[in-house]
Amino acid sequence: MLGHQFVTAAAIAASVLFILSLGGLSNQEKAKRAVWYGIVGMALAVVFTMFGPGIGQYWLMIPMMLIGAAIGTVVAKKVEMTEMPQLVAALHSFVGLAAVFVGWNAEMERARVMAMRAAGESLDGLSAFAATLAHKTPAELTFLQVEVVLGVFIGAVTFTGSVIAFGKLAGKMDGKPKQYPGGHWLNAGAAALSLVLAIAYLNGAGFWTLLLIAVLAFFIGWHLIMGIGGADMPVVVSMLNSYSGWAAAAIGFTLSNDLLIVTGALVGSSGAILSYIMCKAMNRKFVNVILGGFGGTSGPAAEIEGEQVAIDAGGVASALNDADSVVIVPGYGMAVAQAQNAVSELVRKLRSSGKNIRFGIHPVAGRLPGHMNVLLAEAKVPYDIVLEMDEINDDLASTDVVIVIGSNDIVNPAAQEDPNSPIAGMPVLRVWEAKQVFVCKRGQGTGYSGIENPLFFKDNTRMFYGDARQSIDALLPLLD
């Protein structure tokens, strides 16, 4: 067993490593080292918590940890990069459910200690957690109850919300927003009833109130995310990340675990900040997104004129051979086709011909922030030619060729031209201003968000249909 001082020192070291990890993830070149900071920090946290004061029942804990580690290893090896968003959502659900279980257990232990006190029974032989409760004052126990309520409510919302987000991101559920009639009032009513039950719980109503609070919160989480459309799913994942952090922090307060408090606060605050940044990038109001369905369109979307004109690999190659400047805009379709290595080879070949090749990355390209950056880094695309939307947008008008690979909403001119579009006002890459635009796309569908794109019908746009990797591979031998 390790002393409390060692556990505290390990918690401080782990917290510092977590902060360094978050800081390093903002830079592609430092990201790999930042991940190792997080791994080492978590290893320290787990080991020193396991062998800290008051911890026992290793015969049960260690086998469960080994089983969990084995499952995690299998999942990590099996999951493709394109499936990372839904994996993140699934992991958020585990944190939320853990918060619910910890809250319920804490209340049962608190009630047990209170009953033993009232009966004048000896408090010897209690579990480590119950023993700490035995030394708390009535005011401290009341504060514990507040922590329990918050943990159960936030955890339950996070659990069902994350399960629905997983289903939508994995394509197992329809990505369109769905709500019961009077949906916002249902959510508000469930939240108000949860508050009433929380007050009753704090005034001694009993464990049943926590059960009902969890049920209501399960409904709120489910109904909230069901009411959010596919176009807003990246923000939802980030928001649920924040929720899971605050749920973990609530668990930390309940268990008097400083490391959980710090870690939960880091995850909660960083997730909230990222959600705000993404909402700004999509011209969404944060409150509107998290409430699901507020705002929206004010009338029918504008009709699209023209037709989608297809082009073959020879036509695209001819345009690339004649071009001096090329911008590539990747999206989720590139990830699905695992075309990043083919794209990297295309870039290498074009640059060897003396052409100016750059990438334009929208803040919410793919299903998670940084999704495209990770894929391009994996394919060894030079960092210095991967530019953010604000860095590349003004240059698109003077660009000879733009190749859009599996993107839809982030290059949709309706965001600026149609006030009734679901994405009206969203900042987008103005690829239609280039001399020629080639869109690499599987078919004529509207894509994940279900929003039609007028770009595909413009006179300077040609549709390069087919699997992205196969299409790019077909281009390579035709280039000078």
3-state SS, one letter per residue, for the chain: CCCHHHHHHHHHHHHHHHHHHHHHCCCCCCHHHHHHHHHHHHHHHHHHHHCCCCCCCHHHHHHHHHHHHHHHHHHHHHCCHHHHHHHHHHHHHHHHHHHHHHHHHHHHHHHHHHHHHHHCCCCCCCCHHHHHHHCCCHHHHHHHHHHHHHHHHHHHHHHHHHHHHHHHHCCCCCCCCCCCCCHHHHHHHHHHHHHHHHHHHHCCCCHHHHHHHHHHHHHHHHHHHHCCCHHHHHHHHHHHHHHHHHHHHHHHHHHCCHHHHHHHHHHHHHHHHHHHHHHHHCCCCHHHHHHCCCCCCCCCCCCCCCCCCECCHHHHHHHHHHCCEEEEEECHHHHHHCCHHHHHHHHHHHHHCCCEEEEEECCCCCCCCCHHHHHHHHCCCCHHHEEEHHHHHHHHHHCCEEEEECCCHHHCCHHHHCCCCCCCCCCCCCHHHCCEEEEEECCCCCCCCCCCCHHHHCCCEEEEECCHHHHHHHHHHHCC
Give the span between the Cα atoms of 145 and 212, in whole angstroms: 15
Give the span between the Cα atoms of 310 and 383, in whole angstroms: 32
**What pairs with residue 325 in β-bridges?**
356
- The total of other beta-carbon atoms located within 10 Å of residue 434's CB is 23
**Amino acid (one-letter) located at 87:** L
* 189 contact partners, CB below 8 Å, separation of at least 6: none
Check residue 335 and give left, alpha or beta (phi > 0: left; psi -120 to 50: alpha). alpha
Give the span between the Cα atoms of 375 and 386, in whole angstroms: 11
Tokens of 210: 């926590």
- The total of other beta-carbon atoms located within 10 Å of residue 110's CB is 20
Which one of the listed residues 409, 418, 459, 480 is annotated catalytic?
409
Q: Does 409 qualify as catalytic in the annotation?
A: yes
Active centre residues (catalytic): 409
